[in-house]
A = this chain, B = another copy of it.
Amino acid sequence: MVEKEEIINKLLNGELKLYEIDKFTENTREAVDIRREFLEEKYKIQLTNIANYSLDMEEALKRNIENPIGTIQIPVGLAGPLKINGLNTQGEFYVPLATSEGALVASVNRGCSAITEAGGANVRVVDDKMTRGPVIKAKSLTDALKIKDWIRDHFKELKKAAEVTTRHGKLLKIDPVVVVGRYLYPRFVFKTGDSMGMNMVTIATENALNLLTYKTGAHVVALSGNLCVDKKPSSLNLIEGRGKTLVAEVIVPQKIVENKLKTTTDAIVEVNTSKNLIGSAISGSIGFNSQYANMIGAIFLATGQDEAHIVEGSLGITTAENIEGDLYFSVTLPDVPLATIGGGTRLETARECLEIMDVYGSGKVGKFAEIVAGTVLAGELSLVGALSAGHLARAHKELGRG
């Protein structure tokens, strides 16, 4: 046991890296324990649940599941440290990733290392909102436009009706209001604070619609008319954003590109242009990136986010530029629904994973969003880097042979 303490101490003071401890441990179980205890010590938290079968089914039954028969278990690995330069947080973080895809954690880890060495990821939450877009049917086009005008002219009353149902939700705007024949699709846009907010905005929108119906005779066909757009990929959300709109960037010095990523800036730029931009364009894809879904998926599962939101969360565009040899690299994710309270975040293991990053509970979602953006940047840089290392290697080989 002395030895274990020693390893943890070395981890704490940076003499040892996370992936190196397997060399000093007898078996996987011990290594797993050490990593966890290191986190517990470093952050003064308790990680009992991810080490035990511990889900409180009584609680889960109230809010999360019906007809329960047990729980699934998915392994959680740790990537990091990842340096984040945000508005809500600055510092280095370990990021828990739940996945069964081998090599993903290692790949993200490599990206974290390059980014941290380069000075960290600059990240920003560019926008923050949750939406509900019902479909309304009017008696005629003329009537539909009257309802549209009524919505514009009575925003304050609709806002009041919506907000009376919630403590934290604020109705920001109803925009756009799309007219198709005599159908009307108004998009209700809310600020929802630290919870993901779908339930909140659904209830609030319903109350506003009751007022609208009462005043104008508008008929609500469905509370969701797919202009939300919830859990479906869409250009609307790509353009307008939904959930958190995130951007992360890093400038990787030429040396790090060469030594750590084993490639060149030009090779990365070409892979990004030919694959993420042109390749996606020619496929009719709205995911102009290489693997956002992997990082978004793994961090969503680890932290109790809604798995169906991976669909939206993985939209976005990667850019790469050569700045006098150095690499400018960025990820833009317009549509990432996130929560640090409510929903699945209250599940015991999710809470612990959030605590590893100190982002469980109220007032933490901005910080969490910044870490998510940085993590996606790390994974994306790592994969595009690896692909372009192959690109470069093949180019050299072909040159030699030519």
Q: Is the CB of B28 within 8 A of A304?
A: no
Give the chain B neighbours of A118 by CB distance below 8 A. Answer: none
A74-B72, A222-B275, A247-B181 known; A283+B227 contact, CB < 8 A: yes
Stretch of A2-10, A157-165, A310-318 that contacts chain B: A310-318
Within 8 Å of chain B (Cβ to Cβ): is A387?
A: yes
A283-B226, A290-B224 known; A106+B28 contact, CB < 8 A: no
Q: Nearest B residue to A329 by beta-carbon distance? A: B181
- Please tell me the number of chain A residues within 8 Å of chain B, measured between CB atoms: 156
Q: Is the CB of A284 within 8 A of B236?
A: yes
Annotate A23-57 by CB proximity to B: 1 below 8 A, 0 otherwise: 00001110110011001000000010111111101
Give the chain B neighbours of A254 by CB distance below 8 A. Answer: none
Shortest A222–chain B CB gap in Å is: 4
Annotate A121-160 by CB proximity to B: 1 below 8 A, 0 otherwise: 0111010000001010100111001001000000000000
The contact sample of 25 A-B pairs, CB cut-off 8 A, is A32-B68, A50-B70, A51-B70, A57-B75, A63-B102, A66-B105, A67-B78, A69-B76, A70-B76, A72-B301, A72-B350, A99-B307, A100-B347, A101-B308, A135-B274, A137-B274, A176-B239, A182-B328, A222-B391, A233-B285, A234-B285, A235-B239, A236-B239, A277-B277, A310-B311
Q: Nearest B residue to A278 by beta-carbon distance? A: B180
Among A255-300, those with CB < 8 Å from B are 270-271, 273-291, 293-294, 296-298, 300
Which of B69, B79, B287, B388 interacts with A78 by CB under 8 Å? B69
Q: Is the CB of B98 within 8 A of A69?
A: no
Within 8 Å of chain B (Cβ to Cβ): is A109?
A: yes
Within 8 Å of chain B (Cβ to Cβ): is A96?
A: yes
Give the chain B neighbours of A277 by CB distance below 8 A. Answer: 273, 277-278, 281
Shortest A3–chain B CB gap in Å is: 19
A65-B99, A73-B54 known; A394+B213 contact, CB < 8 A: yes
Q: Is the CB of A311 within 8 A of B185?
A: no
A137-B274, A183-B274, A222-B387 known; A72+B58 contact, CB < 8 A: no
Give the chain B neighbours of A28 by CB distance below 8 A. Answer: 57-58, 61, 68
Give the chain B neighbours of A12 by CB distance below 8 A. Answer: none
Q: Is the CB of B225 within 8 A of A279?
A: yes
User: CA of A227 to CA of B285 in the docked complex: distance in angstroms?
Assistant: 9
Q: Which of A76, A122, A277, A328 has the most CB of B within 10 A?
A: A277
Q: Is the CB of B76 within 8 A of A73?
A: no
A249-B182, A293-B308 known; A227+B75 contact, CB < 8 A: no
User: CA of A284 to CA of B398 in the docked complex: distance in angstroms?
Assistant: 38
Within 8 Å of chain B (Cβ to Cβ): is A361?
A: no
